[in-house]
Structure 1
Amino acid sequence: MVYVIELVGFDGDDTLWHSEGYYQEAHAEFEQIVGRYVDLGNLRLHDRLLATERRNIKLFGYGAKGMTLSLLEAAIEITGSRISAADLHRIIGIGKHVMSHPVKLLPGIREAIEAVAARYKIVLITKGDLFHQEQKVESSGLADLFHRIEIVSEKDERAYRRVLGEFGIDAGCFAMVGNSLRSDIAPVVALGGWGVYMPYHVTWAHEADTDFAASSPRVVQVQGADGIAEAVSELGLRTAA
């Protein structure tokens, strides 16, 4: 069966707009707070915090709210409940700051989306807290470019299969653009689709935890937004081949 790319999906965080840097700043401020109570050098703090966040994903989901609750839990556990109410309040403030950060688009991303939209139907597929993601989409000024916007709790084969089913499109006719091999590329390729991988300069350890290789023949890697349209065209040629 010969496939033709009909639908292109775009990730949101760290593909269209900057995001992970704000979370990294939040973790750094968290370390400063907790460091007043314990010796961080002996704690393996990054590993313990990541373990807490991973454990809580199924309960709290992704995003700033889940991160904040995990920071509070980790702070209480790490300090043996010695952390003050004032410092717990500071941690809540860290989460609020992440929730309210400005939406800054990656260089050239609007032009890249417009170029792809001139040839294909496009859909925004982003995961995280519904309220926060809706806020980001609205603030980005990009919503009018997409045929549809999907905010999902998890990006896995099931989620992509549902989206493709609602469009009535086979996975072989779908390409996904994103910065995460784990969430944006691997599940789509597993379904028989295609990927444009655009790495971001910093990646959350949870998203980096994958054995999927970017060298897959179903993936084209680009270094910036200006390479996206050409990469999608290249995938179109590969589907025909």
Structure 2
Amino acid sequence: MSNRAVTVIGFDADDTLWQNEQYYKLTEAHFQGLLAEFAEGNHVSERLLEAEKRNLAHYGYGIKGFTLSMIETALEITEGRVPATVIGEILAIGRDLLSHPVECMPHARDALEALAGRYFLVMITKGDLFDQERKLAQSGLGDYFDAVEIVSDKTATTYRRIFGKHGEGPERAMMIGNSLKSDIVPAIAAGSWGVFVPHALTWVLEHVDKPVEAPRFREIPDLGHVPKLVENLQ
């Protein structure tokens, strides 16, 4: 057994390793335009968010669930009178989301390169299986990871299972991500280190208070600070 404080490092994917939420925002703006004759943009977004909240338990996280929520919202707002052409447009912009280019976050590659081979690296992400696999392949970052875990949700139980499977347990693991709700709070609850890397467009449903009193909570401005942070814990 290693004496190092951290032996396994988990990385979130969307908006941690590569851009994601900005594409959802562009799609939402397009969706508002499609329903402009039926409702104001802010109202469309509010109803869409309500649908997403309701549907998480049914469809999970990812683009397919988002697309279904747009269709549901269009039907509700128009009281079932939405033109078939609009439904077709919604399906089209959903498909566009599934093929958008992958733009890596600043310092992502350098950080992974500095850590690979010295720590066991695992990508831990929510979302659609095919879409996440596509983005990982197109990002060119896949070779840095020793394991990939695509999960339906991120809870303390999830992190205990993953860090127990791939390492010496959560106490010697670190989770890095942009979502306090999914990446940081449950990882710390599991006994791991939680490193918060803020992103300006983090989805509103992922917002919770920072666990500033937790001894294992850290916050850094970008991934370029990860190698030094990890080294200082050893």
Give the TM-score band, short-chain normalised: over 0.9
Match of 2:18 in 1: 17
Match of 1:156 in 2: 155
Q: How many angstroms does 1:116 deviate by? A: 2.0
Match of 1:182 in 2: 181
Alignment partner of 1:28 is 2:26 = no
Q: How many angstroms does 1:141 deviate by? A: 0.9
Amino acid at match of 1:224: D
Question: 3-state SS of the aligned residue for 2:182?
Answer: helix
Measured against aligned partners, the alpha-carbon deviations of 1:5-41 in whole angstroms (never above 9, x if no partner) come to: 1100011001111100000111111111111222446
Q: In 2, distance between residues paired with 1:10 and 1:36?
A: 42
Percent identity, please.
Answer: 42
Long gaps (5+) in structure 2 = none
Question: 3-state SS of the aligned residue for 1:211?
Answer: coil
How does 1:94-173 map onto structure 2 within 5 Å? 94-173=93-172
Match of 2:85 in 1: 86
Q: In 1, distance between residues paired with 2:231 and 2:184?
A: 17
Moved over 3 A (4+): none
Amino acid at match of 1:47: E
Match of 1:233 in 2: 231
Measured against aligned partners, the alpha-carbon deviations of 1:25-58 in whole angstroms (never above 9, x if no partner) come to: 11111111111222446x3x33321111011111
Q: In 2, distance between residues paired with 1:216 and 1:198?
A: 16
Q: In 1, distance between residues paired with 2:101 and 2:15?
A: 13
Long gaps (5+) in structure 1 = none
Q: In 1, distance between residues paired with 2:63 and 2:105?
A: 20
Question: 3-state SS of the aligned residue for 1:196?
Answer: strand
- How many residues in Structure 1 have an aligned counterpart in Structure 2? 232
Match of 2:59 in 1: 60
Q: In 1, distance between residues paired with 2:216 and 2:30?
A: 40
Amino acid at match of 1:160: Y
TM-score under structure 2 length normalisation: 0.93
- Please tell me the root mean square deviation across aligned C-alpha atoms, in Å: 1.6
Q: In 2, distance between residues paired with 1:3 and 1:229?
A: 14
Structure 1 residues 119 and 48: alpha-carbon distance in aligned structure 2, compared to 1, 3 A threshold: same
Amino acid at match of 1:220: R
Amino acid at match of 1:12: A
